Amino acid sequence: MLSGLAEAESAGLSRGVQVIAGIEMTAARLQGRRAVHLLGYWVDREDAALLAALARARRLMETHVDTVLAAIGALGIRLERSHLEGYRHRYAGGAALVFGMLQRGVLRGLPAGTGMRLLRMAADEPRAYTLREAVDLVHGAGGIVSLAHPAKLRRGEPLQTAAELRAYAECGLDALEAWQWIPHGWGSEHYRRVADELGLLVTGGSDDHGKRDAEGRSRLGRQPVTAAVLEPLSERASVWRARRAPRSA
């Protein structure tokens, strides 16, 4: 979603803080069913193709949520959209459905197979774009693309090698998120080396979706990133901006 950017930009202006228009997108993974997160920086927040793709992703997810809620309703159990409010980051999706089902006791008393079917159905989220399509959308909007939190790509294996990430890089990535929210600080060193090997620039961030750490503090703004990364990233973004198709008048 790009809807908060205008407000962020004007707040930045009044406080002397540089705001870079950014977005996190969820794309279909190369193989397998899980998703991959991409970060776009310096995107034009009014880019028509990007906005249309985001709207399509949102509509697909709404339909998915309705389908799962209807399947639950068909069993005579009530779970409504409003019950999912507390679990959503941006808008309700598979995770909100799963949390909603578990915490509101939807599965209680159901045969195990039926409960499992509902959970699988909820988790099987639709994807509006492949990784390559998402990369092209961001580039088309004049932005650069970084692979978000590679440490989360495979559960329990935070340190991915360059060989493991090459196929992602070849989808057109500009950068890799080296500074990311993983316990300890050891990941950034590793991922800076991996980025180097893959010929990628580096980014960093807190991946904040309103999540809290173990002490209940917000992550927002608490992932330091060296300022030296900014210039090469901004230069790359100007290359993509220059390549944009001229807008039809």
| Interface positions with Zn ion (CB under 5 A) | 37, 148, 207
Q: Under 8 Å CB-to-CB from 20, ≥6 apart: which residues?
A: 41, 42
Of 125 and 207, CB closest to Zn ion: 207
d(CA 187, CA 210): 22
Shortest CB 206 distance to Zn ion, Å = 10
Question: Is the Cβ–Cβ distance between 150 and 182 less than 8 Å?
Answer: no
Q: Order of strands, edge to edge, in the sheet holding 175-179?
A: 22-28, 35-41, 144-147, 175-179, 201-204
State the residue for tokens 């909100």. Answer: 96
Long-range CB contact pairs, 99-107, < 8 A, 24+: 101/72, 104/79, 106/72, 106/77, 106/79
> Minimum CB separation from Zn ion for residue 38, in Å?
9
β-strand 175-179 against 201-204: which pairing, if any? parallel
Q: Which is nearer to Zn ion, 174 or 207 (CB)?
A: 207
We find the least distance from the C-beta atom of residue 151 to Zn ion, in angstroms, to be 11
| Least distance CB 4 / Zn ion (angstroms) | 16
Longest dimension (CA), the chain: 61
Task: Pick the closer one to Zn ion by CB: 154 or 243.
Answer: 154
Q: Environment class of residue 134 by beta-carbon count within 10 Å: exposed (0-12), middle (13-18) or buried (19+)?
A: buried
The least CB distance from residue 75 to Zn ion, in Å, is 32
Q: Which residue is nearest to Zn ion (CB)?
A: 37
The CB-of-24 to Zn ion minimum distance in angstroms stands at: 5
Cα(34)–Cα(103) distance, integer angstroms = 23
